[in-house]
Structure formats: structure tokens, C-alpha cells
Amino acid sequence: MSGFVRFKAVSFGLVILLVAGGAFAAGYAAKDAGIGSRAADAPDFSSLNNVYRVLQDKFDGQLDDAKLLDGAKAGLAAATGDPYTAYLNAEATKTLNDDLNGTISGIGAEVGLKSTRLVIVAPIADSPAAKAGLRPKDQIVLINGQDPTGLALDEAVGKIRGPEGSQVKLTIVRDGGAPFEVTITRAVITVASVKWEMKPHRIGYIQLTRFGPDTSAKMAEAARQLSGQGARRIVLDMRNNPGGYLDAAVNVAGEWLDGGVVVEQRRGERTISKLTATKGGQLVSVPTIVLINGGSASASEIVAGALQDHGAARVLGEKSYGKGSVQEVADLSGGANLKVTVAHWFTPKGKNINKEGIKPDVEVKLEAADYDAGRDPQLDRALELLK
């Protein structure tokens, strides 16, 4: 989801880069937050002033007006009951922008809510979270001994983030087993969004870890270089990719498409927009397998769904996360933002990404024993199918 007056296909709310944060293919269109006229049946918010006056008169302690205002704004957003609608103060907004630019300070993992449970969506490769052994679908039941149940996602993530060199203790439940503790030292992490290399049998391998501001250019470069090296087939690895800018997702999908719809945005039953690829992708008609898993979310689901629906690639691995709601980002005063769920993403053939996720054409699981032994049966199967 793309920027301000752009759409940020970022895994917001669902997911948050545990930096000092979060983002993904939700969809963010930044707009100025204007004040409209109050509808006749709108609630009377003057009672908020009454609460403030009582606090001023009665509270035995020091009041911080800025914190009170932030708390009121956050409370209004949280009261919607939607985990992806949230108020971001100036600090949280800066964190988001840092995340999307690929520089984060924290444990290096995407976190989301699944049925009110705080879960790991995807650890970033070589991050403190990955080195500590965290895996997609791990449930975080305690943060430094405190139960995060009932916290807004941004609030829970805020308790996990922290400065470089500090530590956080997480209590994890994996696959319904007994809880265990992991102590992680936070670090500053710089994440490259696109990496590529040639595999045997002229198979080009592209690993796409996020959809940042440089992703479109990097993907075009990867396609150019691999084509120049004689790649006749491609593996696009979007496992554990939590998302990012929507325009990057459209551009990435466009490398395999000669025009056509990439994703459709709907509000209720009404189609709001259809985003299309430009003609002339560099990898059109190149046999391709897309790798996904439960940590593939948002923008990565848009790309996988578009290539699958158009028959431009086969999808292999495990069902994706299922993050297909669209958040509009309104710019507020003082550098703050309000992100509001305004619609949902659908694939070109009408699959509801938010409810269904993306199901692989070829299901291959990566079991715990594979993970522990450093085996990758998903990549191995993809390479075998493309030989």
C-alpha cells in the first residue's frame, strides 16, 4: 500500500515489523484529515470535554495533555473493533516509515492478530527473532511476563519493541505445545527487499522479502540480470513476506503479465477500483513457481493471487496469511496518522484475500524437523518441477 496520496500495501495491524514495528498489503491512501459537518444523528462528543474537565478538577496527580489527547484518539479508533483501524502518533508514524524503508530497530519479526491471539507472522531472515528460533504461527502468550490479550495490536507491538541492545522476554506456545520462554536482544536491522541468484538448470531464484520503495526498481533489475544470464525459468520466493507498498505489488506482478487486472478493491459488494499491470513485463511467458506460506501476507498475497489467476505462475507451499483489508491513511496534525479500514482486496477472479488467503496449486509443507535440520522441501520441489 503505497504512501501518502498513494496506497501502502502494507501489513498494518495484521502485521507489524517489530522495530523500536509494522506494516503490509492492506492499502493505504494518505489524505488530509478534513473536518466534515456533524450528521444529525451523530453522537455528542462534548461529553469528552466533560471527562477532561473532571480529570482537571479531581485527578490527584500530574496530567499530560498531549498523552490524554493521544489516548482519546487511540480509544476512538480501537472502539471500532477492527484491529487494522488505529491511531498512530508521530513516533509510531515514523516507525512505520522506517519499516517500509527497510531499517528497523527491534527483534525483526512481523506480528499479527489471529482470533485475538498475538502471533508471529514472519521472522525476518538473519534477524534476532530468526536466530532465537521464532517461527510463523508461534503464539506470544506473555511479553516480559505480561498477558497481551485484549491489547490493541500497536500497543502489544510497542511492548515488544525497544532500543538496540535491550532485551525482551517472550513466552511462546508452538503448535499447541507447552509454553517456553525466549529472551531476545533487540538490534537495528536493514532488510534488502529483493535478492536474486542463478540456480542450476538455468533457473533464476528471486527472494522478495518486503514491498518497499525500492522494490519495483530492484525487481526490474533482477528480471533484467537473470534474463541476461540465460534464465529460462523462475522461482519467486515470497515466503514470510508481510507486504508493503501496493504500487510495488502491482509492478512486481506486472513483470509476469502483459497487462490485465492485478487486484480489485471492493467496499461491500461495490467495486471501487481495479489496478492493472502495464503491458510488456520482462518475464511474460517464463515458466514460474511462486513460493508462499503462512507468513506471506498482504502485498505478497496480491502478487501470488494475480499470477495464479492469470495462469502466469503456479503457486507452491502453504496457504497464505489472509490479509486483504484496505486501510486509508489520513495525515493528522503534528505528524500523526489515522489508518482506517475502508475496503477489501480481491484477486482478478474474485477471491476474497482477507477471508480465503491464497491456496497453493501444489501443497508442500515445511515441517519442524525440516526447519531444525536446515532442509527446504518447498524450494527443492519447486526446482524439481521446473527442471
Element (H or E) spanning 283, and its range?
Answer: none
| Residue 233, strand partner residues | 203
User: Could you count the other beta carbons within 10 Å of the beta carbon of residue 52?
Assistant: 15
Cell of 292: 508462499
**If DSSP codes are grouped into helix, strand and coil, which group holds residue 360?**
coil
Please tell me the predicted confidence (pLDDT) of residue 355: 86
Of residues 176 and 385, more confidently modeled = 385
Least confident of 41-55, 242-256, 297-311, 339-353: 41-55
Residue ranges in 101-197 assigned as alpha helix (H): 128-131, 153-160
Per residue in 23-52, pLDDT (tens digit) is: 333 444 344 344 344 455 677 888 888 999
Residue ranges in the chain assigned as alpha helix (H): 46-58, 65-78, 90-100, 128-131, 153-160, 215-228, 246-254, 299-309, 353-356, 368-373, 377-386
What percentage of residues in the chain have a pLDDT greater than 90? 58
The verdict on residue 327 lying in a domain is no
User: Grid coordinates 488467503 are at which residue?
Assistant: 357
- Confidence bin at 16 (pLDDT 50/70/90): very low
Cell of 201: 538448470
Say what angle helices 215-228 and 246-254 make with each other, to 10 degrees: 20
Q: Of the residues 2, 193, 296, 298, which is catalytic?
A: 298
Least confident of 95-99, 108-112, 177-181, 189-193: 95-99
Say how far residue 255 (Cα) sits from the centre of its chain. 21
| Residue 325, strand partner residues | 344
- Tell me the mean pLDDT in the region 52-56: 93
- Tell me the mean pLDDT in the region 378-387: 97
Cα separation, 106 vs 21, in Å, equals 8
**If DSSP codes are grouped into helix, strand and coil, which group holds residue 310?**
coil
Per residue in 76-128, pLDDT (tens digit) is: 999 998 888 999 888 888 877 776 666 667 898 878 887 788 999 878 778 89
Rounded (to 5) percent helix, strand, coil in the chain: 30, 30, 40
Residue 212 pLDDT exceeds 60: yes
User: Could you count the other beta carbons within 10 Å of the beta carbon of residue 40?
Assistant: 5
Is 325 assigned a catalytic role?
A: no
Is 41 assigned a catalytic role?
A: no
Is 323 assigned a catalytic role?
A: yes
The verdict on residue 82 lying in a domain is no
- Confidence bin at 20 (pLDDT 50/70/90): very low
Cα separation, 322 vs 355, in Å, equals 6
Cell of 381: 520441489
Q: Of the residues 309, 325, 339, 351, which is catalytic?
A: 309
Say how far residue 131 (Cα) sits from the centre of its chain. 21
- Tell me the mean pLDDT in the region 294-305: 94
The verdict on residue 43 lying in a domain is no
- Rounded to two decimals, the pTM is 0.73
Residue 379 pLDDT exceeds 60: yes
The verdict on residue 100 lying in a domain is no
Please tell me the predicted confidence (pLDDT) of residue 18: 33
User: Grid coordinates 537473470 are at which residue?
Assistant: 226
- Confidence bin at 9 (pLDDT 50/70/90): very low
Please tell me the predicted confidence (pLDDT) of residue 150: 85
Please tell me the predicted confidence (pLDDT) of residue 5: 25
Per residue in 308-339, pLDDT (tens digit) is: 999 999 999 999 999 888 777 888 988 999 98
Please tell me the predicted confidence (pLDDT) of residue 162: 87
The verdict on residue 376 lying in a domain is yes
Considering only CA atoms, which of 72, 71, 127, 67 is closest in space to residue 103? 127
φ/ψ (deg, to 5) at 51: -60, -45
The verdict on residue 149 lying in a domain is no
User: How does strand 362-363 pair with strand 314-317?
Assistant: parallel
Domain of 229? 194-322+347-386
Q: Of the residues 323, 325, 339, 351, which is catalytic?
A: 323
Cα separation, 172 vs 241, in Å, equals 21
Least confident of 155-159, 223-227, 343-347: 155-159
What percentage of residues in the chain have a pLDDT greater than 70? 88
Least confident of 112-116, 147-151, 178-182, 203-207: 112-116
Per residue in 221-237, pLDDT (tens digit) is: 999 999 999 999 999 99
Residue 90 CB contacts under 8 Å (≥ 6 apart), including other chains: 334, 335, 336
The verdict on residue 35 lying in a domain is no
Domain count, the chain: 1
User: How does strand 233-237 pair with strand 203-208?
Assistant: parallel
Please tell me the predicted confidence (pLDDT) of residue 153: 81
Considering only CA atoms, which of 353, 360, 340 is closest in space to residue 262? 353
Cα separation, 65 vs 43, in Å, equals 23
Assign residue 234 the CATH number of its domain.
3.90.226.10
User: Could you count the other beta carbons within 10 Å of the beta carbon of residue 315?
Assistant: 24
Q: What is the pLDDT of the chain when averaged over all its residues?
A: 86
The verdict on residue 171 lying in a domain is no
